Amino acid sequence: MRRDRSVGRLLTRAFGVLVGLIVLSGAAETTALIMQHRVVEELSTRVQPLELANSDLHSVLADAQRSLRGYLLTGDGQLLDTYYIAHSDYGLTSGKLRELARGEDDAAVGRQLRHADAWWTLAERQREAPPRSDAAAGYVSEGKELFQQFAAENGQFADALAARGSDLQERSSRLSVVTTAVVIVLTGLAALTAALAAAHIAGRITRPLARVVSVIDRRRSGELQLLADADAGPTEIRAVAQAVNEMAAKGDQIRRAEQDVARLRGEVRQLGYRIRGHLKVEDAVKEAVQGLAEIIGADHVLVRMAPGQTDVPPLASLHDEHVGGVLKELADCGVDWLGHGDVWATDDPSPAGDIHPPEAERRAWAAVGDGPVLTVAVSGGDERLGALTLIRDSGRPGWTAIDIRLVESVAADLGRGVHHARLYEREQHLVARLQELDTAKTDFMSTVSHELRTPLTSIAGYVELLLDAEAGELDPPQRKMLEVIARNTRRLRELIEDMLMLSKIESGTFRTSRAPLDLAVVAEQAMAAIAPAAAKTGVDLCTDVRTPLQLSADAEQLDRVLMNLLSNAVKFTPAGGTVTLAARREGDEVLIAVTDTGIGIPAGEQHSLFARFFRATNAIHRAIPGTGLGLAIVRTIVDNHGGHIEVRSAAGEGTTVTIRLPAQ
């Protein structure tokens, strides 16, 4: 663990090195410049002027020597003028030379000037010698020797100066090369340092930063267990990772809290469903009491029902087993101090309204343990049904706003549940009562029809005896009157039969037991049975049955259907008319049609045909007997067979009843 791996420190160091290299490079350049300047100054202010002055001195002396020698050899005075000029120049030139010469040059210049002065001393003596004399000649050779000594010294100095000049120039150029090399090296080092620092920093920042960013991204996409590595990478990145982890921890904490609340909400919702699913008030209350104790974490849960609302006694949670013990006193307290939707909680974070629990209630709470109490009114519909009280043991945390909301939700569900259960219970009572009534009605119908049969048997039997002349011969008016009695007895009997059948249909004891049968046989029997009645009223019968007609049906009921339709048709058809029974297979169905050329059914009344006791107005007007129950029974039988029935009729033209039954 290297604790000092800070990018900032690294950057500072890298910049320090760079600045150092740049300063070094500048210093080298400056030093080189200064040194070169010195060389140039040395050259221009000393060496070159010295060379010039030295050369001038040589020229002056050479001019003086040449003109003096010429004068001495020729006596030309003009040459002597030249000599004089040179002599005066010598003063200037030698002074200048002496002025320029310093230090190391002093000796050389002094030697040269001593030689020059010696020559001049001799020259002054020469000048006074007569020209072209032997003395003069002697002086010339003597002067020549002195001059040569001077010239030698002069040349030697000039050489030394030249050597110094070239030496200086060489040093200057060498310095320049060295400086350039040093600057290049330093610049290269700086570039290298910058590049290395950049690469290193990039490496130290980019990768760890990318890792932190990736952690943030993955957390965002749900990998909540991931944490950023706060022990790797530079200090700054570690700080960022640390901050990310702290934020994540905070976020996790919030999320966990939210999840807890969501879980509680879900459980409370489920509890609500269960409460509302109960059909008994007591079960709904028990469910609420047990569920609340578990979900909300209450040590005691008590549900008190307002008197007069239900006969359910106060119910407490399993912890308390029953309302004896510590809850006894509280269970006996009334809850009328709580209004519709009221909530009262110990240290309620946001108390609503002005609710004052009575002293008795407060004493009862203290008896339970004086812990946090939460009481919520339970209402169903517009009625106050009671109250839900949760108590935690003393020292346990108080009720949070979330607890209160959840308990309110349960109270609302309990209210609805109790309300519905009460409605259901009332409905159950009503249904039971209706069933009793229905059974009584069925029994009554059965009894009545049974009791009617016995006297009817006597009436019909004795009328038959009379008509059979068993009690003596009858005269025609007597016979006619007895026949009226017989006919009406038959009607009464039919009515009783139909009513009994309807009562069976309504009580659900009318059963259809299907078995394979041939419709052609049933149709033939029905036609045979109706034939006497048709013959009596002068109606022609016609059959159009196309076999095979295999069906799965209840033979007795199918016979009843055919008999009903045929007797209707015969009954409503005047003499000379025709009744046709047609039957054939059509696809998956067997079609049965009974057609008559009778009085028909008025269009406005056709829709009522299958209603019980309905009778068409024209039938009533013509005093054609009937109960109005036949078609209702027919329709029930057809429905039981999975078929359907249809009536087409025109008043005065006739009627066709068509039945379609599923073929076998």
Partner 1 sequence: MGGTAVTVVLVADDDADIRDLVAFKLEQAGLEVVAVEDGQAAVEQARARRPALAVLDVSMPGLSGIDVCRMLRADPATSGMLIIMLTARVQEQDVEGGFSAGADDYVTKPFSPRELVSRIQALLSRARA
If one asks whether residue 347 binds partner 1 (CB under 8 A), the answer comes out as: no
Among the listed residues 279, 460, 563, 647, the single contact to partner 1 using CB under 8 A? 460
Closer residue to partner 1 (CB): 455 or 516: 455
User: What is the smallest separation between the CB atom of 269 and partner 1, expressed in angstroms?
Assistant: 53
Closest CA relative to residue 510, chosen from 556, 451, 449, 447: 556
Among the listed residues 162, 465, 535, 542, the single contact to partner 1 using CB under 8 A? 465
If one asks whether residue 456 binds partner 1 (CB under 8 A), the answer comes out as: yes
Rg (CA), the chain: 72
Among the listed residues 149, 309, 489, 543, the single contact to partner 1 using CB under 8 A? 489
Closest CA relative to residue 414, chosen from 384, 374, 390, 380: 380
C-alpha angle 330/331/332, rounded to 5°? 90
Listed ranges 81-89, 414-422, 454-462, 566-574: which one lies at the site for partner 1 (CB under 8 A): 454-462
Listed ranges 139-147, 220-228, 371-379, 464-472: which one lies at the site for partner 1 (CB under 8 A): 464-472
User: What is the smallest separation between the CB atom of 461 and partner 1, expressed in angstroms?
Assistant: 4
Angstrom distance (rounded) from CA 113 to CA 57: 9
User: What is the smallest separation between the CB atom of 438 and partner 1, expressed in angstroms?
Assistant: 17
Angstrom distance (rounded) from CA 638 to CA 649: 19
Strand partners, 542: 580
Angstrom distance (rounded) from CA 575 to CA 99: 181
Inter-residue contact 162 to 51 (CB < 8 Å): yes
Closer residue to partner 1 (CB): 379 or 557: 557
Angstrom distance (rounded) from CA 48 to CA 52: 6
**For residue 392, how far is the Cα from the chain centroid?**
37
Listed ranges 113-121, 244-252, 461-469, 608-616: which one lies at the site for partner 1 (CB under 8 A): 461-469
Task: Kindly determine how many residues on this chain lie close enough to bind partner 1 according to the rule CB under 8 A.
Answer: 20
If one asks whether residue 457 binds partner 1 (CB under 8 A), the answer comes out as: yes
Among positive and negative, which fits the CA dihedral 252, 253, 258, 264?
positive
User: What is the smallest separation between the CB atom of 535 and partner 1, expressed in angstroms?
Assistant: 20
Helix (H) or strand (E) holding 107: helix 104-128
Angstrom distance (rounded) from CA 661 to CA 554: 12
Listed ranges 208-216, 361-369, 421-429, 448-456: which one lies at the site for partner 1 (CB under 8 A): 448-456
Q: What is the rounded end-to-end Cα distance, in angstroms, of the chain?
A: 92
Listed ranges 167-175, 445-453, 529-537, 633-641: which one lies at the site for partner 1 (CB under 8 A): 445-453
Among the listed residues 141, 221, 225, 454, the single contact to partner 1 using CB under 8 A? 454
Listed ranges 127-135, 225-233, 435-443, 462-470: which one lies at the site for partner 1 (CB under 8 A): 462-470
User: What is the smallest separation between the CB atom of 478 and partner 1, expressed in angstroms?
Assistant: 19
Angstrom distance (rounded) from CA 238 to CA 5: 10
Q: Which residues contact 457 (CB under 8 A, 6 or more apart)?
A: none
User: What is the smallest separation between the CB atom of 477 and partner 1, expressed in angstroms?
Assistant: 23
Lay out the site mask for partner 1 across 363-402 (x = CB under 8 A, - = otherwise).
----------------------------------------
CB atoms within 10 A of CB 499: 19
If one asks whether residue 441 binds partner 1 (CB under 8 A), the answer comes out as: no
User: What is the smallest separation between the CB atom of 635 and partner 1, expressed in angstroms?
Assistant: 21
Q: Map tokens 């346990």 to a residue.
A: 396
CB atoms within 10 A of CB 365: 21
Q: 471 is written with which tokens?
A: 């009690």
Among the listed residues 30, 74, 270, 458, the single contact to partner 1 using CB under 8 A? 458
If one asks whether residue 309 binds partner 1 (CB under 8 A), the answer comes out as: no
Inter-residue contact 276 to 416 (CB < 8 Å): yes
Distances (CA, A) of 42 to 165, 168, 176, 459, 490: 9, 8, 17, 173, 166
Q: Which residues contact 474 (CB under 8 A, 6 or more apart)?
A: 466, 467, 482
Helix (H) or strand (E) holding 625: none
If one asks whether residue 167 binds partner 1 (CB under 8 A), the answer comes out as: no
User: What is the smallest separation between the CB atom of 448 and partner 1, expressed in angstroms?
Assistant: 11
User: What is the smallest separation between the CB atom of 556 and partner 1, expressed in angstroms?
Assistant: 10
Q: Is 146 exposed, middle or buried (0-12, 13-18, 19+ CB in 10 A)?
A: buried
User: What is the smallest separation between the CB atom of 493 and partner 1, expressed in angstroms?
Assistant: 6
User: What is the smallest separation between the CB atom of 645 and partner 1, expressed in angstroms?
Assistant: 24
If one asks whether residue 493 binds partner 1 (CB under 8 A), the answer comes out as: yes
Angstrom distance (rounded) from CA 236 to CA 242: 10
Q: 571 is written with which tokens?
A: 């009954």
Listed ranges 22-30, 114-122, 160-168, 493-501: which one lies at the site for partner 1 (CB under 8 A): 493-501
Q: Is 460 exposed, middle or buried (0-12, 13-18, 19+ CB in 10 A)?
A: middle
* Exposure string for 389-424, b = 16+ CB within 10 A, e = fewer: bbbbeeeeeebeeebbebbbbbbbbbbbbbbbbbee
Closer residue to partner 1 (CB): 209 or 460: 460
User: What is the smallest separation between the CB atom of 462 and partner 1, expressed in angstroms?
Assistant: 6
User: What is the smallest separation between the CB atom of 539 and partner 1, expressed in angstroms?
Assistant: 25
Lay out the site mask for partner 1 across 466-485 (x = CB under 8 A, - = otherwise).
--x-x---------------
Asked if the bond preceding 548 is cis, omega within 30° of 0, the reply is yes
Q: 24 is written with which tokens?
A: 């070094």
If one asks whether residue 563 binds partner 1 (CB under 8 A), the answer comes out as: no
Closer residue to partner 1 (CB): 171 or 453: 453
Listed ranges 179-187, 460-468, 587-595, 623-631: which one lies at the site for partner 1 (CB under 8 A): 460-468
Angstrom distance (rounded) from CA 64 to CA 122: 12
User: What is the smallest separation between the CB atom of 590 and partner 1, expressed in angstroms?
Assistant: 26
Listed ranges 364-372, 492-500, 586-594, 612-620: which one lies at the site for partner 1 (CB under 8 A): 492-500
Angstrom distance (rounded) from CA 252 to CA 21: 51
If one asks whether residue 450 binds partner 1 (CB under 8 A), the answer comes out as: yes
Closer residue to partner 1 (CB): 14 or 505: 505
Q: Map tokens 């946001």 to a residue.
A: 350
Closer residue to partner 1 (CB): 222 or 508: 508
Lay out the site mask for partner 1 across 497-536 (x = CB under 8 A, - = otherwise).
x--x------------------------------------
Listed ranges 135-143, 345-353, 455-463, 608-616: which one lies at the site for partner 1 (CB under 8 A): 455-463
Q: Which residues bind partner 1 (CB under 8 A)?
A: 446, 450, 453-462, 464-465, 468, 470, 489, 493, 497, 500
